[in-house]
Chain A
Amino acid sequence: MANERISVIKVRETLMVTMPADPDDSTITALQEEVLQAMARYEASGLILDISAVETMDSFFARTVVETTRMVELMGGKTVIAGMRPSVAITATQLGFTFGNTKTALDVDYALDLLGDRHPRRPGHGR
């Protein structure tokens, strides 16, 4: 079975990670390490986890996402989970999953607002 790739790009101060629709466990586990390393490499201050394509989020996937946000926090970064589908939100809640203090946004646009990553960015202008 083809292992779906996670896309990681940096826009200004923020790292944007797009999750594939139906990743297997090893792809989900790889997400954690890849994201943490990218945070350090790109010196990003924020992380947006775009899960708008995700069709199924079981307890393993949800737990890994929340763990990742905690790890990013330990590194001094902020995370926003963006674009959770209504069906996924309903299912995750009924499954018993609480995302705790994790910040969420309707889409990537709102997520950028939450992270305070303003446009335009001027040289010497802080985050």
Chain B
Amino acid sequence: MVVESYGEVDILDESHIVTVRKTIREAASRIGFGVTDVTRIVTAGSELARNAFHYAGRGVMRWQEVENGQSIGIELVFEDHGPGIANLEQALEPGYSTSGGLGMGLPGTKRLMDEMDIRSRVGEGTTVTVRKWRRK
């Protein structure tokens, strides 16, 4: 049996946020994360999937297993071609929101993961990459 170490989920409607969660849950569990880390990773993915869907209308989530020396991990990349984030610093401030939410999405997601990288251009879209590591 071939075990996939990467995958992709299109986010085209609201129900795909659930598909993203299920996909990440399976992947993170298989990589060997414990239940609390799996919950953190799935929750972070849920926030990012919802962001892509709400701000851009659609997007894509790619996941892959990653390795770095003594560590093994999971990388999630969320890409959309929405309006982009005009002020990244502000978007990472707790409590800041342009959508009427509580503004905990991005700063909260960052706390749940080990690494977060955001690339965004106004009018072109946003790519958010997050990683979580564990010892081999």
Instruction: Bin the interface of chain B by size.
Output: 20 to 34
B36 close to A58 (CB less than 8 A): no
Given known pairs A58-B43, A87-B36, the reply for A95 and B108 (CB within 8 Å) is yes
Interface residue? A56 (CB, 8 A): yes
Tally of A interface residues using CB under 8 Å:
22
Residues of A contacting B42 with CB < 8 Å?
55-56
Residues of B contacting A97 with CB < 8 Å?
102, 104, 108
Interface residue? B125 (CB, 8 A): no
List residues of chain B with CB under 8 Å of any chain A CB.
Answer: 14-15, 17-19, 21-22, 25, 35-36, 38-40, 42-43, 46-47, 50, 94, 101-102, 104-105, 107-109, 111-112
Q: Can you name 27 A-B residue pairings with CB atoms under 8 Å? A: A1-B15, A24-B14, A24-B15, A24-B17, A25-B14, A25-B50, A55-B42, A56-B21, A56-B39, A56-B46, A57-B43, A58-B46, A58-B47, A59-B101, A63-B102, A85-B39, A87-B36, A87-B39, A90-B39, A91-B43, A91-B112, A94-B40, A94-B108, A94-B112, A95-B47, A96-B102, A96-B107
List residues of chain A with CB under 8 Å of any chain B CB.
Answer: 1, 22, 24-26, 55-60, 63, 85-88, 90-91, 94-97
